[in-house]
Amino acid sequence: MLTVKLLPGKDARLLAGHPWIYRGEIARVEGEGVPGEIARVLDHRGRFLGQATLNRKSQIAGRLLSRREQPIDATFFERRIREALARPGRAASGPDACRLIFGEGDHLPGLIVDRYADLLVAQILTAGMERVRETIFDALLRLIAPRAIFERSDVSSRKLEGLDLRAGFARGAGETALWIREGDLEFLVNLAEGQKTGFFLDQRENRRAVRRLAEGRDVLDCFCYAGGFALSAAAGGANAVLGIDLSATSLAWARQSAERNALAGRCTFEEANAFDHLRALDRGERRFGLVVLDPPAFTKGREAVAGALRGYKEINLRAMKLLAPGGILVTCSCSYHVDAATFMDMLRSAAADARREFHLLESRTQCGDHPILLAAKETQYLKCVILEATD
């Protein structure tokens, strides 16, 4: 087994419970190995800290799997998957969709597994999980018995690990478009073409909040994707819902879901750039009782945070101006590089520039099947803030 020895003082993060080791924290590596191989991790005095996958091609060179010495084999991974499946909010069968494995949050760094009805979607994000890919898929088949496993290992972060992008059926075959149920609503999901693994499962509880707030309001849903928030608002009794997105394909899914749920009469979906459309709506003096902003991540790295904050402020300022008196803004960010405090400061600045006053009704995050490690703030990436205009 490889051995990683850390530089003096570079063990504090691991000792505090964080699972990552950065390349610059390593003093030396003893032994030769391929990317993703298991290594023993020692502090600079030689004291054992844990076992981690090692990939010196990546800035995050080590990802901790265990804090005690034990065999890292098929039995280990099956046990970890069983532990993940047993966490609250998860179900290995049924008509609903949920996250079953959330990477570092489930002590399986680099592995994402979502369930959509009887089909699993997996993402392999690191060299360490790439090496045990077949072991993972075998265990998922034994423990869950899905119809098939579809792989969406097509995210750009794989390139940072020296990995090629890959998408397609890993086990089994069949259709990739299917209907899922969320409460009493049904949504059309395309696992091969959709964002993330097909749907924004992390927003499930926030969609319920929007449904609770929507009654009697005209609703604007920007970056609406496949209509998750829009249909939730309509089902909650909204007078009318306008959904905006750049993707004609996503809007077609939203329209089909609206028809399926008998909500098409109150839902309109338009293909448009949300930044431009918000400006146009403001010029037209149209006002809404509820505005939802759920944009894609505006930054993938710390170097672009300033630009991302300018983008967040722009859309939030425009949305604030569009609110009727007593209107509600539900605004989100999925970039973990923009933390909750920074996001809230941006909202304060946007409100000041919009010359609007707000009550903070709720500050929310991702739903419970995306568990958060207290010591790893990166696992809490989703911010969802609900504001009420007081004027």
In this structure, the answer to whether residues 141 and 81 fall within a common structural domain is yes
Per residue in 140-155, pLDDT tens? 999 999 999 999 999 9
Per residue in 338-367, pLDDT tens? 999 999 999 999 999 999 999 999 999 999
Residue 139, pLDDT > 70, answer yes
Check: CB of residue 168 under 8 Å from CB of residue 132: no
CB hemisphere CA count around 388 (13 angstroms):
9
In this structure, the answer to whether residues 375 and 245 fall within a common structural domain is yes
In this structure, the answer to whether residues 48 and 87 fall within a common structural domain is no
Of the candidates 49, 66, 83, which is a domain's last residue?
A: 66
Per residue in 97-118, pLDDT tens? 999 999 999 999 999 999 999 9
Residue 99 sits in a domain of what CATH number? 3.30.750.80
Residue 188 lies in a domain: no
Residue 386, pLDDT > 90, answer yes
Residue 194 lies in a domain: no
pLDDT value, residue 358: 98
Per residue in 204-217, pLDDT tens? 999 999 999 999 99
Residue 181, pLDDT > 90, answer yes
Residue 184 lies in a domain: no
Residue 273 lies in a domain: yes
Check: CB of residue 30 under 8 Å from CB of residue 75: no
| Residue 181 vs residues 260, 310, 386: alpha-carbon distances, Å | 11, 36, 25
Beta bridge mates, 131? none
Summarize the confidence of residues 36-55 as an average pLDDT.
97
SS3 379: helix
Summarize the confidence of residues 180-194 as an average pLDDT.
95
Residue 85 CB coordination number (10 Å): 18
Check 224, 332, 334, 367 and give the catalytic one. 334
Tally DSSP H helices, then E strands, for the chain: 11, 20
| Mean of the per-residue pLDDT values of the chain | 95
Please tell me the distance from the alpha carbon of residue 141 to that of residue 133, in angstroms, as a whole number. Answer: 12
In this structure, the answer to whether residues 34 and 81 fall within a common structural domain is no
Is 332 a residue of the active site? no
Please tell me the distance from the alpha carbon of residue 39 to that of residue 65, in angstroms, as a whole number. Answer: 10
pLDDT value, residue 88: 87
In this structure, the answer to whether residues 20 and 159 fall within a common structural domain is no
Residue 301, pLDDT > 70, answer no
Which two tokens mark 244? 């905006």
In this structure, the answer to whether residues 212 and 360 fall within a common structural domain is yes
pLDDT value, residue 253: 97
Token pair 């999901």 in the structure block, residue? 189
In this structure, the answer to whether residues 93 and 173 fall within a common structural domain is yes
Check: CB of residue 371 under 8 Å from CB of residue 87: yes
Residue 318 sits in a domain of what CATH number? 3.40.50.150
In this structure, the answer to whether residues 160 and 118 fall within a common structural domain is yes
In this structure, the answer to whether residues 283 and 357 fall within a common structural domain is yes
Number of domains present in the structure of the chain: 3
What is the model's pTM?
A: 0.94
In this structure, the answer to whether residues 227 and 91 fall within a common structural domain is no
What is the span of the domain harbouring residue 305? Answer: 200-389
Summarize the confidence of residues 65-90 as an average pLDDT.
96
In this structure, the answer to whether residues 80 and 29 fall within a common structural domain is no
Helix axes 228-235, 204-213, angle to 10 degrees: 40
